[in-house]
Amino acid sequence: MSVDSVATTENSIREAARKIFLEKGLAGSRMQDIADAAKINKAMLHYYFRSKEKLFHLIFENELNNLFCNLDEILDSPLPILDKIQLIIERDINTLMDCPQLPIFLLNEMSQCPENFLRCAHRIKAFQRYEKFRAQLEEESKQGRIRAVNPDQVFLNMIALTVYPFIAKPFLSSLFNLCERDYAQFMLERKKEVGRMVIESLRPETQTVMQ
């Protein structure tokens, strides 16, 4: 089997596994489902990935990394911190719009196997990436460019305001009487609205009064 053929088969398996795991989670997925979706036999699937758990953890780590990988590029840029926050919010919502099953997928693993979630978070350097964000907020506050805040509360607000609409989509769609297309438009507007709320909460009081 050629190197290209091996790579093609592995990619097909990963794409199929991602689809199945996002839809059904670890417990609800079967290796046979993944083999069928990848259009290979189960024996070949086990040849490439010996267990469902090993394949799941690979997919899980990739998906978690997709959420945090944007932080480095944005935080290392020369942009003002408030512009960085707007970009982080917009990119997170874009990521979730492309994969709306992702929040439930991550939350299930976090609640069912917190130890694995934490190990994965350490491997993708999620904590180091967050510390960079935290340090920048603290420095901007010290310089008086934003008001004195608890960076942990700011980060939690950003996560809650962006993730909740995807977790609660069935309820919110009915509550607001929105079809699929309208809900997508609602989330596009949400990018600006969340950014506005978080940024306004960070402006120094003198700037807020002047506006």
Distances (CA, A) of 53 to 12, 26, 60, 74, 190: 18, 8, 10, 33, 36
* CATH classification for the domain delimited by 1-50, as one of 3.40.430.10, 1.20.910.10, 3.10.150.10, 1.10.10.60: 1.10.10.60
Q: Write the pLDDT tens digit of every residue in 136-166.
A: 999 999 999 999 999 999 999 999 999 999 9
- Residue 112 pLDDT: 87
Asked whether this chain's domains 1-50 and 56-210 adopt the same fold, the reply is no
Residues 6 or more apart whose Cβ sits within 8 Å of residue 178? 172, 186
- Residue 205 pLDDT: 74
pTM: 0.85
Identity of residue 100 = P
- Residue 208 pLDDT: 47
Q: Please state the domain extents for the chain.
A: 1-50, 56-210
Identity of residue 191 = K
- Give the phi and the psi of residue 98 in degrees, each rounded to 5: -75, -25
CB-based burial, 111-130: b 16+ in 10 Å, e otherwise? eebeebbeebbeebbbeebb
Distances (CA, A) of 45 to 22, 55, 132: 18, 10, 40
CATH superfamily of 56-210: Tetracycline Repressor, domain 2 (1.10.357.10)
